[in-house]
Amino acid sequence: PASNLGLEDIIRKALMGNLEE
Amino acid sequence: ELSQEQQAILSFIVEAYQKHRIPQDMAKKLLQEHFNADENFLLLTEMATSHVQVLVEFTKNIPGFSALDHEDQIALLKGSAVEAMFLRSAQVFTRKLPHGHTEVLEDRIRKSGISEAFITPMFNFYKSIGELQMMQEEHALLTAITILSPDRPYLKDQQAVERLQEPMLEVLRRFCAMQHPLEPQHFARLLGRLTELRTLNHHHAEMLTSWRMS
């Protein structure tokens, strides 16, 4: 789940537009 | 008055700020369902994740942001995520919610296991934001200004960030002068809240550690 990701991982994913992952 | 270009920036930023917000069903969960301490922790963690995702979507709309160096984009977002989150939460606590909702939210946060030493400054901040009776435009601009702070750690091109932040500050300054002609200190007070945010940000890592241990 997203809650297990660190802040930077969440930012990187969101910047790349991979919110659905 | 705002120039045509400044008006366009303002409308664009406000629209992006209103469009990108935490999904309503998640916010509803926070109010309607009862959870034990573990589930409470998980829900607040999910909300924080959603906050960051929404913040990134909003930030992509800030004029010039996408043209910045990719690693600098990450440095800005990493440096400001907590501050932007507190700013957005403050809006929730100062808005007129249906009767009892603010209490439910406050109770949930107070029972989340976060130590009182961190909770009190947080609610003091919400109160100080509430006193300013900020408009949506001011919230959106102040969030953009926070994100575009040129002094974040690991930032390579500070000048490029300054060039993006300055027009935002000028739009906010003029907007304040237009909306609060009898309160010449309003703009300075808004910027003063950014200093408070820095302090909250500073204590946030400590707060997380105490929360996890609890």
pLDDT digits (tens, 9 = 90+) for B191-209: 999 999 998 888 877 777 7
Write down the pLDDT at residue A2: 42
CA distance A6 to chain B (A): 9
CB pairs under 8 A between A and B: 36
Chain B residues within 8 Å of chain A (Cβ atoms): 42, 45-46, 49, 52-53, 56-57, 60, 70, 73-74, 77-78, 81
Q: For residue B23, what pLDDT band results from cuts at 50, 70 and 90?
A: confident
Q: Are B4 and B53 in contact (CB under 8 A)?
A: no
Q: Sign of dihedral through CA atoms B81, B85, B87, B88?
A: positive
List pLDDT tens digits, range B125-176. 988 898 899 999 999 999 999 999 999 999 999 999 999 999 999 999 999 9
Kindly list the distances between the CA atom of residue B167 and the CA atoms of B49, B53, B108, in Å, as whole numbers in the listed order.
29, 25, 39
